[in-house]
Amino acid sequence: MTPTTVYKEPAPRVANTENPLESMMSRFNVAAEILGLDHETYEVLKAADKQIIVHLPVSMDDGKVRVFEGYRVVHNTILGPSKGGIRYDKNVSLDEVKALAAWMTWKCAVVDIPYGGAKGGIICDPTTMSAGEIERLTRAYTMSMKDVFGPDRDIPAPDMGTGPREMAWIMDEFSKTVGQTSSAVVTGKPLVMGGSLGRTEATGRGVMVSCLAAMNKLNMKIEETSVAIQGFGNVGSWTAKLMFDKGLKIKAISDISGAYWNDNGLNIDDVIAYKNAHGGRIEGFPGATPIDPDELLVSDVDVLVPAAVEDVITEHNAPFIKAKLIVEGANGPTSASADPIIYAKGISVVPDILANSGGVTVSYFEWVQNKQGFKWSLEMVTDRADRIMTDAFEKVFAVSQKYDISLRIAAYVVAIDKVAQTYKYRGGY
């Protein structure tokens, strides 16, 4: 590709053009039909178990009190305690959190770990808040969720806008409410306080592992494969780094400041060093040409990795995608309306609930280690996580062959089937 459009203005956060809950439900419906799910089970799996909306008054540094709206949606606990991250973003909505919570249920089921699904979110812009304001908000949110969270009830983790620092505050605040140190109540903690080796890079590593598994099926050779990655946060940057180390050619990357292209492949070690030295932004990186961020998604590469927000691949840009393979690092980056277009074009998609499940898999390992009071080596974590990812990929691939369906619908079939079968054993009222 020769980049034609030169980037001028800061790229806005891509607006959600579609409702992620509707996108999730339309795939759920297709999979439920393939499975012949009975009406009762369909109704049980479709609805979220509980949705909590809180309003949190927080003292800001200017002395004023601001009230923040926060959510926690527990979608399902049939397989075990609910699990899922907490998102801090100004565009968080209840529908988005509901979709993300359901995706956690399916994600945990696809990789066969004993968790249900949940998600949390607070409408806020952490980029404009001080550390003290974020800490007070996090502690207030944790206190408001003291009867929801618990090591065997609901276990939060990082998501967009949160990381180990916030998880440490959650662990500390929750521990105070129960009067004892409760490490296993949250995952993604700093290493020194019960975090797991390998957790930070786990999602990106899973994206890389599932990408290689898909490339193997498509007979794509590592040395001949080029990649575009949208998003350079935790997931995007680790995916880029680990793919680069494997020998894939990363031709395009993007972050909030814009998108960048190098036809010979970017040196990701240099990009990361540059980002760390420039306030977390890639803008001005000398080894790349700026391109239009929208162009990245339709650029001339073999693999496309959307690793930012929901609904960036829609029916509008799907017809122009040139990649043969899409590996979804983000949750819900493809709107349901784009699915048939992508399928008809013969593009393979490793769906979000499979591709980015490496994060929750290592969260599960962290929780197990906290409960064991024992630390695993990095090798043990990565070997086990890679095996889980590869096994899950093979299972989903086999189901897609069996029913002649996309990997996305196959992943939903695998997940819904597991939860539905468990529901039948457990029963309802």
Q: Quick check: 360 binds ligand GLU (CB under 6 A)?
A: yes
Among 20, 70, 81, 84, binds ligand GLU (CB under 6 A): 84
Task: Tell the smallest beta-carbon distance from residue 185 to ligand GLU (Å).
Answer: 12
Who's near 269: CB < 8 A, 6+ residues apart?
A: 241, 244
Residue closest to ligand GLU, measured at CB: 85
Residue spans of alpha helices (H) in 111-189: 131-144, 164-178
Phi, psi of 219 (to 5 degrees): 55, 40
| Distance of alpha carbon 400 from alpha carbon 153, whole angstroms | 33
Active site (catalytic) residues: 119
3-class secondary structure, 82? strand
SS3 162: coil
CB of 292 to ligand GLU, least distance (A): 28
- Check binding of 363 to ligand GLU (CB under 6 A): yes
Residues 6+ apart with CB under 8 A from 64: none
Alpha-carbon Rg of the chain, whole angstroms? 21
- Window 99 to 128, contacts with ligand GLU (CB under 6 A): none
Min separation Cβ 219 and ligand GLU, Å: 30
Of 12-20, 59-67, 124-132, 359-367, the segment contacting ligand GLU by CB under 6 A is: 359-367
Q: Is residue 20 within the footprint of ligand GLU (CB under 6 A)?
A: no
Among 85, 121, 126, 258, binds ligand GLU (CB under 6 A): 85
Q: Does 210 bind ligand GLU (CB under 6 A)?
A: no
Which CB atom, from 85 or from 233, has the smaller least distance to ligand GLU?
85
By CB under 6 A, the count of residues binding ligand GLU is: 11
| Complex with ligand GLU: residue 74 or 259, whichever CB lies closer | 74
Q: Which CB, 333 or 359, lies closer to ligand GLU? A: 359
Q: Which of 359, 365, 388, 393 touches ligand GLU (CB under 6 A)?
A: 359
Please, what is the Cα angle at 205 between 324 and 247, to 5 degrees?
60
Q: Is 194 left (phi over 0), alpha (psi -120 to 50) or beta?
A: left
Q: Which of 83, 205, 251, 408 binds ligand GLU (CB under 6 A)?
A: 83
From 77-85, 275-283, 289-297, 311-319, span contacting ligand GLU (CB under 6 A): 77-85
Nearest to 84 by CA among 172, 165, 188, 173: 188
Contact range with ligand GLU by CB under 6 A, out of 60-68, 78-86, 146-154, 302-310: 78-86
Shortest Cβ distance from residue 322 to ligand GLU (Å)? 28
Q: Which of 72, 35, 76, 37 is closest to 54 using CA atoms?
A: 72
The amino acid present at 324, given as its one-letter code, is: K
Comparing CB distances to ligand GLU, the nearer of 99 and 416 is 99
Q: How far is CA 275 from the centre of its chain?
A: 22
Residues numbered 153-172 forming contacts with ligand GLU, rule: CB under 6 A = 157, 159
**Nearer to ligand GLU by C-beta: 120 or 258?**
120
Binding mask 166-205 for ligand GLU (x = CB under 6 A): ---------------------x------------------
Between the alpha carbon of residue 224 and those of residues 218, 219, 227, 265, 291, the distances in Å are 13, 11, 10, 12, 23
Nearer to ligand GLU, 118 or 291 (CB): 118
| Burial (Cβ within 10 Å: 0-12, 13-18, ≥19) of residue 123 | middle
**Residue 151: both structure tokens together:** 């090591």
Judge residue 43's burial from the number of C-beta atoms within 10 Å of its C-beta, 0-12 exposed, 13-18 middle, 19 or more buried.
exposed
Binding positions for ligand GLU, 329-358, rule CB under 6 A: 331, 356
Binding site for ligand GLU (CB under 6 A): 83-85, 157, 159, 187, 331, 356, 359-360, 363
